Amino acid sequence: MQRIGILGGTFDPPHIGHLILAQYTAESIGLDKVLFVPAGEQPFKPSTRSGISHRLAMLQLATQDNPQFEVSRVDVDRPGPHYTADMLPLVQAQFPDAQLYFLMGGDNLRDFPTWTRPREIYQHARLAVMRRSDEDVSADMHDETLLGLSDCVDIVNTPLLSIWLSSSHIVERLQRGLQVRYLVPDAVLAYVHDHNLYKVDNS
């Protein structure tokens, strides 16, 4: 059975943290493929800094040299709002014989009971929880409220990536005229400058 990971987000812009965690998780639990699923309209992030055409282009550039990575338009090509519980069955329909793994951070697992229809999520996919060494999260932390969740959670101990490795921090540095080389793939940085994204001053 093919094992497919799903990593969602705005990817505005995609950075090396996304790539490192996807690669690390794929190796740790034996994923055949990781789908990067950019959000068209996130219910809790009603606006993005860049349009979906730019975010898709940057994500394609960021993942193009890894045959294990693939960009999915499953959330882009359907009307919103976009909830994970609705997206996973669509991915399963595309890969009917695959076991799905939804990649999330430890902070997402802590907040998981507040997600929209969380039981439907772990009925459609196992949760691959990327836990940093400084996080106190466990597979059974919500057993009292979400029956059977712990049986569907795989904890992956991942590298400790500092808070500065985030899309928001990268955009802040760009807007201040500071260097973000090594924080994003070179092809993504070139695209940002070529299209003057995030109000970058190219002068």
Residue 161's pLDDT is 67
What is the amino acid identity at position 112?
Answer: F
Q: Are 44 and 29 in contact (CB under 8 A)?
A: no
pLDDT in tens, 2-55: 999 999 999 999 999 999 999 999 999 999 999 999 987 555 555 568 889 999
Taking 3-state DSSP, the helix, strand and coil percentages for the chain, each rounded to the nearest 5, stand at 40, 20, 45
Q: What is the mean pLDDT of residues 64-72?
A: 97
> Interior CA angle at 31 toward 82 and 124, to 5°?
40
Domains and CATH numbers, the chain: 3-160 (3.40.50.620)
- Across the chain, mean pLDDT equals 91
| Residue in this structure with the two tokens 């009925």, named with its chain if needed | 123
Written as six digits, the tokens of 32 are 């055949």
